[in-house]
Homo-oligomer: A and B are copies of this chain.
Amino acid sequence: MPELYDVAAIGNAIVDVIAPCSEDFLNDEALVKGSMMLIDEDRAQSLYGVMASGLEASGGSAANTVAGVASFGGRSAYIGKVADDQLGQVFTHDINAIGVRFDVPALKGGPATARCLINVTPDGQRTMSTFLGASNKLTAADVDPKIIEAAKIIYLEGYLFDPSDAREAFAKAAGLARASSRLISLTLSDSFVVHRYRDLLLGFIDSEVDILLANEAELCALMQTEDFDAAMRGLRGRVKIAGVTRSEKGSVTLQGDAIDAVPTAPVEKVVDTTGAGDQYAAGFLYGLSQGRSIAHCARLGHLAAGEVIQHYGPRPQVSLQDLAIAAGL
């Protein structure tokens, strides 16, 4: 099988609705700052009704990552489910426009395209409330073997452990990837997801995952420790490679037994941290697909995350390839 893609991702296909909010707003709406909470359509309507005026942008964690890979000049593909409606058209347009292969048929006659209501506090932290809608209807039948078998790296979202049909799609993709000797990468997505599915996630990581992406809180939740260094050491032998983000401190990588901190430069002004982890994953996986050293991969991740947190919207607004060249990466 030829390698047509550097990265192929499976995830929840979501359009983001991004609006600024106060700390009080989070309290009034009983939202846990920094978390992702699943909501139903009624709650989506009522929460949207009290949110501030916003911007809409295509999102979805793994979709943001493959968009980032494409922005670096990588070849990528995406598998996820939108509805046959205006927001589904927006999602499809945007991912195709950035050069990502995406041809899963849109859902007809079911729930609307998924929306993530993102409230951004003045410190740039985002709190997400997701109505899964059509994205929840992704099934194993949507996983095209030709895409999985033709990708150097398969990338899976921890968020997909929520819908049970998607977990089957996950398993199918992992099986196909394994059979074709492709690398399998996973992001833990959210510390609450880790709490909900810790045993399933650990089992999946031990049996299937080569490359793990996470942030500090997610990794500590997975390893059930507050000691970050111990959590990193706990990954030895479980995965071959890991990249774990620590906000302004940069990230810590694991390769085999080697654990190394990679610092990052501060950005001018943090506007909205939505998509920071997704873009770190984009840089990290793109670097791996190009055979770069692990430290180089982490620096590409920092570069991409640094771009996306300086504006509203979860995807890069400039070419990451140009940024990387300008930064000597």
Q: Would A48 and B312 count as touching, CB distance under 8 A?
A: no
Bound complex: CA A49 to CA B97 (Å) = 8
B-side contacts of A48, CB under 8 Å = 93
Interface positions of A from 299 to 317, Cβ below 8 Å from B: 311-313, 315, 317
The listed residue with most B CB atoms (<10 A of its CB), out of A48, A94, A98, is A94
Interchain residue pairs with CB less than 8 A apart (23): A17-B90, A20-B317, A48-B93, A49-B93, A52-B97, A53-B58, A53-B95, A53-B97, A53-B98, A53-B315, A54-B57, A55-B55, A55-B57, A55-B312, A55-B313, A56-B56, A56-B57, A56-B90, A85-B86, A86-B87, A86-B112, A311-B311, A312-B313
Question: Is A194 on the interface with B (CB-CB < 8 A)?
Answer: no
Interface positions of A from 1 to 51, Cβ below 8 Å from B: 17, 19-20, 48-49, 51
B-side contacts of A212, CB under 8 Å = none
**Helix, strand, loop or mixed for chain A's interface?**
mixed
Q: Which residue of B lies closest to A95 (CB)?
A: B53
Q: Would B311 and A312 count as touching, CB distance under 8 A?
A: yes
Interface positions of A from 42 to 82, Cβ below 8 Å from B: 48-49, 51-58, 67
Bound complex: CA A105 to CA B186 (Å) = 47
B-side contacts of A51, CB under 8 Å = 93, 97
Total copies of this chain within the assembly: 2
Interface positions of A from 309 to 329, Cβ below 8 Å from B: 311-313, 315, 317-318
Q: Would B317 and A94 count as touching, CB distance under 8 A?
A: no
Bound complex: CA A77 to CA B95 (Å) = 37
Contact status of A56 and B55, CB under 8 A, knowing A48-B93, A86-B86, A311-B312: yes
Contact status of A52 and B312, CB under 8 A, knowing A86-B86, A86-B112, A87-B86: no
Bound complex: CA A48 to CA B86 (Å) = 13
Q: Which residue of B lies closest to A51 (CB)?
A: B97
B-side contacts of A90, CB under 8 Å = 17, 56
Bound complex: CA A94 to CA B17 (Å) = 11
Bound complex: CA A52 to CA B93 (Å) = 8
Contact status of A94 and B53, CB under 8 A, knowing A86-B87, A87-B86: yes
Interface positions of A from 120 to 145, Cβ below 8 Å from B: none
Q: What is the CB-to-nearest-CB distance from A110 to chain B, in angstroms, rounded to a whole number? A: 15
19 new A-B contacts, CB < 8 A, other than A53-B93, A312-B317, are A20-B318, A49-B93, A51-B93, A52-B97, A52-B98, A53-B67, A53-B94, A53-B97, A54-B57, A54-B97, A55-B55, A55-B56, A55-B312, A56-B57, A86-B87, A86-B112, A311-B311, A311-B312, A312-B312
B-side contacts of A67, CB under 8 Å = 53
The listed residue with most B CB atoms (<10 A of its CB), out of A54, A67, A95, is A54
Bound complex: CA A117 to CA B310 (Å) = 24
B-side contacts of A57, CB under 8 Å = 54-56
Q: What is the CB-to-nearest-CB distance from A23 to chain B, in angstroms, rounded to a whole number? A: 16
Bound complex: CA A112 to CA B89 (Å) = 13
Contact with B along A235-246 (1 / 0, CB 8 A): 000000000000
B-side contacts of A55, CB under 8 Å = 55-57, 312-313
Q: What is the CB-to-nearest-CB distance from A185 to chain B, in angstroms, rounded to a whole number? A: 23
